[in-house]
């Protein structure tokens, strides 16, 4: 898993070489598997990169519909000790002291193309799927929490206490680290993440979800037209989650 | 070295004979497996008895890392079918010897940690609508677009 994460350039070269070889072997034959392959039973494909655009100009201060939807979707409940509770998504209120300009935004795993959590994981439990979703394989996670220290967004949580009655699609357990999965179980079924759905239902529509590699998708078109900010872009992690309206 | 291997083989065979005798004469109380909801398992019983850990281990990496879903041998499917409400009560937990997995694991002295993270009971929605969970259970392991849509709708309506 770990070489997959590091060798973006090498893979790109190999991909180009393979494409050239295929064309040379069968001139006139066009190899195109289509985006649909990334969904359903065929598994994640690198032809897709899932991403989100969060329009902070539409995100209302005080609204936590996305947070509640996430907690409900994954069976995240409070232990009564907020400092150690799992938190996959949280609402932040930020204000520029110079101008007084304030806005509210949800912050979660940014699903980096070069994820620091994957770099530091000693067991390969922290990994990036072919379609860009960054996950923890809890079968391999030893709970060392290096990834939590490496993450610039404080996106990960550690489970300190035994859990009961987890949901079938969201296995979670003591001694492992977890974070936003971009609702991978929904995405694999062709649905959208719970936070996006909740934001839509709450009437704000501040979250756009889609395939960053598809120029026809809403997210790609809006990014092309309006642009999007990567939080801590200086780290060059090329996140899958982008923000609009951050100044 | 060789004699060790021979001894182990003889030991395993002897254990088999003892177990077979026990089965025949019922001198040992055998586990009582709770009834399943479906009519037929995804594999014959003897295959499932021996190989269910292999199926689960294999599929777990494909699912987590590859995102390949809807396969025949998934833990969620096992639980949906084999763990059922008893006498109008909630389905048993793994800590209860009545639980399908526990009934045999207790008998054979096998300790598993699957249920520290995974749900040991079907989602409520599944056991209220028992048959919906088995729509693709006996098929070829793939879901059609219509089935996916149906599942998605069922999921949404119970949230």
pLDDT, position B2: 57
Disruptive mutation site among B58, B117, B121, B147 for chain A (greatest number of A CBs within 10 Å): B117
B137 or B35: which leads in pLDDT: B35
Name the closest residue on chain A to residue B124, using Cα atoms. Answer: A167
Nearest-CB residue to B143 (from A40, A163, A184): A40
Listing DSSP states for A206-238 in one string gives -EEEEETT-TTSHHHHHHHHH--BPTTGGG---
Q: Average pLDDT of A2-11?
A: 50
CB contacts under 8 A, B 96-115 vs A, are none
Q: Average pLDDT of A158-171?
A: 94
Q: Which residues contact residue A2 at a Cβ distance below 8 angstroms, ignoring those fewer than 6 apart?
A: A118, A121, A124
Nearest-CB residue to B117 (from A166, A190, A191): A166
Disruptive mutation site among A74, A140, A168, A196 for chain B (greatest number of B CBs within 10 Å): A168
Answer whether A145 touches B (CB < 8 Å).
no
Answer whether B157 touches A (CB < 8 Å).
no
- Check pLDDT > 80 for residue A228: yes
Could you read off the pLDDT of A47-105 as tens digits, one per residue?
A: 999 999 999 999 999 999 999 999 999 999 999 999 999 999 999 999 999 999 899 99
Answer whether B65 touches A (CB < 8 Å).
yes
Could you read off the pLDDT of B105-134 as tens digits, one per residue?
A: 999 999 999 999 999 999 876 655 444 344
Share of chain A above pLDDT 70, in %: 83
Q: Average pLDDT of B16-23?
A: 53
Q: How far apart are CA A175 and CA B116, in angstroms?
A: 10
pTM: 0.75
pLDDT, position A26: 47
Average of per-residue pLDDT values in chain B: 75
Answer whether B40 touches A (CB < 8 Å).
no
What is the DSSP code (8-state) at residue A91? E
- Give the pLDDT band of residue A43 (cuts 50, 70, 90): confident
- Check pLDDT > 90 for residue B88: no
User: Do B122 and B38 touch, CB atoms closer than 8 A?
Assistant: no
In order of A5, A148, B30, B35, the CA distances from B108 in angstroms are: 41, 39, 10, 19
Disruptive mutation site among B91, B116, B135, B148 for chain A (greatest number of A CBs within 10 Å): B116
What is the DSSP code (8-state) at residue B36? P
Q: Which residues contact residue A123 at a Cβ distance below 8 angstroms, ignoring those fewer than 6 apart?
A: A140, A141, A142
Name the closest residue on chain A to residue B120, using Cα atoms. Answer: A165
Q: How far apart are CA B71 and CA A244, in angstroms?
A: 39
Q: How far apart are CA A160 and CA A155, in angstroms?
A: 16
Answer whether B9 touches A (CB < 8 Å).
no
pLDDT, position A13: 55
Lowest mean pLDDT among A78-82, A177-181, A184-188, B154-158: B154-158
């Amino acid at each position: 898993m770990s070489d997959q994460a590091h060798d973006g350039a090498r893979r790109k070269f190999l991909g180009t070489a393979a494409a050239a070889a295929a064309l040379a072997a069968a001139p006139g034959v066009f190899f195109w598997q289509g985006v649909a392959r990334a969904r359903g039973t065929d598994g994640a494909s690198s032809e897709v990169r899932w991403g989100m655009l969060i329009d902070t100009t539409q995100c209302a201060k005080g609204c936590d519909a996305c947070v509640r939807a996430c907690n409900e979707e994954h069976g995240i409940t409070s232990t009564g000790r907020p400092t150690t509770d799992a938190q996959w998504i949280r609402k932040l209120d930020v204000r520029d002291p110079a101008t007084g300009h304030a806005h509210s935004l949800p912050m979660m795993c940014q699903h980096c193309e070069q994820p620091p959590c994957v770099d530091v994981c000693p067991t390969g439990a922290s990994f990036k799927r072919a379609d860009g979703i960054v996950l923890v394989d809890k079968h391999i996670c030893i709970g060392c929490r290096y990834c939590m220290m490496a993450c610039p967004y404080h996106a990960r949580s550690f489970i300190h206490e035994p859990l009961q009655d987890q949901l079938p699609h969201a296995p979670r357990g003591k001694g492992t680290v977890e974070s936003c999965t971009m609702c991978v179980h929904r995405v694999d079924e062709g649905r959208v993440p719970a936070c996006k759905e909740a934001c839509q239902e709450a009437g704000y529509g501040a979250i756009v979800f889609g395939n960053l590699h598809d120029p026809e998708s809403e997210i790609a078109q809006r990014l092309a037209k309006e642009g999007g900010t990567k939080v801590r872009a200086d780290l060059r992690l090329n996140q899958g989650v982008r923000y609009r309206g951050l100044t | 070295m060789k004699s060790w291997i021979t001894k182990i083989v003889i030991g395993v065979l002897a254990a088999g004979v003892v177990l077979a005798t026990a089965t025949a004469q019922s001198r040992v109380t055998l586990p009582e497996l709770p009834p399943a909801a479906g009519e037929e398992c995804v594999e014959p019983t003897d295959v499932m008895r021996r190989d269910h850990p292999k199926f689960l281990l294999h599929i777990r990496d494909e699912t987590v890392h590859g995102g390949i879903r809807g396969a025949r041998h998934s833990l969620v499917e096992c639980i949906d079918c084999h763990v059922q409400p008893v006498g109008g009560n909630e389905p048993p937990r793994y800590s209860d010897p009545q639980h399908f997995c526990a009934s045999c694991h207790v008998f054979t002295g096998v300790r598993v940690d699957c249920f520290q993270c995974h749900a040991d009971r079907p989602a409520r929605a599944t056991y209220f609508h028992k048959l919906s969970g088995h729509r693709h259970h006996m098929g070829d392991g793939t879901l059609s677009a219509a089935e996916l849509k149906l599942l998605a709708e069922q999921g949404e309506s119970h949230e």
